[in-house]
Amino acid sequence: MPATLLDDAARTVLNRLFSAAAQEGPALLALRDRFSGEVDGSLAAAAAEAAAEIYMPVAPEVGRLLYLLARARNAALVVEFGTSFGISTIHLAAALRDNGGGRVVTTELSATKAAAARANLAEAGFGDLVDVRVGDAFETLRDLPGPIDLLLLDGWNQLYLPLLRALEPTLASGALVIADDVTLFAEENRDYLEYVHDPANGYLNCAVPLDDGVDLAIRL
Ligand SMILES: C[S@@+](CC[C@H](N)C(=O)[O-])C[C@H]1O[C@@H](n2cnc3c(N)ncnc32)[C@H](O)[C@@H]1O
């Protein structure tokens, strides 16, 4: 069974990106101070502009979890909210490669970051599997043909619930929904977590205590 994630091309790119991200601590804290609380409409775009050089990636162990989940689900269509420089996307695309093919549709407000992500994905060997869409997720993911096997929520946290609701009709039964940073931004994620915690809404969820908090839910 192949594990493309361990290939030289993917590892070289991931090592470089994770190293660069590890240097950004103070800039990241300043961004969080400035944009914690409400982020919607033009503020979301302003935050993306301010974060145009900030990686904010999933942690390495969260990336590994994404790979494992996409493989275990045998995912063919993966949707990602929040591409940044493509670190999480590389893990997801590697899983699709090892599943035998498929598509990651990922979206990023910053055109600069989207271009960098495309280059990183191509260098890692996954350019053919990923569709990087520039713009607001609510526009770029509109009318997406499903069924979505795995949805990663890793953009501005305040948008997780409305975006999940918008994509809900295209989620496959048994789709996995993964939300990152749910502990770090507990207040911003309160509505989202309450929603996926209530089986009446059609989900079963579980907290995964990795890094800044991951929530894993399955669409019933
Ligand atoms: C936490 S970072 C994503 C990190 C990435 N998943 C990784 O692991 O490398 C969040 C990204 O979401 C983007 N974003 C925020 N709101 C968005 C929106 N409404 N539509 C598209 N992208 C958005 C931001 O510009 C930012 O680059």
Q: How many domains does the chain have?
A: 1
CATH no. for residue 172?
3.40.50.150
* pLDDT given at position 29: 73
Expressed in angstroms and rounded, the spacing between residue 175 Cα and the centre of ligand 1 is 21
* pLDDT given at position 198: 97
Residue with CA closest to ligand 1 atom 7 = 57
Residue 54 CA: which ligand 1 atom is closest?
A: 27
3-state secondary structure of 2: coil
Expressed in angstroms and rounded, the spacing between residue 110 Cα and the centre of ligand 1 is 8
Distances (CA, A) of 20 to 14, 24, 97, 194, 207: 10, 7, 26, 35, 28
* pLDDT given at position 41: 57
Domain that holds residue 197: 4-219
Residue 88 CA: which ligand 1 atom is closest?
A: 8
Residues having CB within 6 Å of any atom of ligand 1: 44, 48, 51, 55-58, 82, 84-85, 87-88, 107-110, 113, 136-137, 154-156, 159
From the number of C-beta atoms within 10 Å of its C-beta (0-12, 13-18, 19+), residue 169 rates as exposed
Residue 21 CA: which ligand 1 atom is closest?
A: 9
Q: DSSP labels for 170-196?
A: GEEEEEEEEEESTTTTTTTTHHHHHHH
Q: What is the Cα–Cα distance from 14 to 30, expressed in whole angstroms?
A: 25
Give per-10-residue mean pLDDT for the chain (220 aa).
Answer: 90 97 79 66 70 89 98 98 98 98 96 96 98 97 94 95 98 98 93 98 97 97
Residue 155 CA: which ligand 1 atom is closest?
A: 12
Cis peptide before 147 (omega within 30 of 0): yes
Rounded to 5 degrees, φ, ψ at 200 are: -60, -20
pTM (predicted TM-score): 0.94
Sign for the pseudo-dihedral over CA of 143, 76, 214, 170: positive
Q: What is the Cα–Cα distance from 134 to 119, expressed in whole angstroms?
A: 14
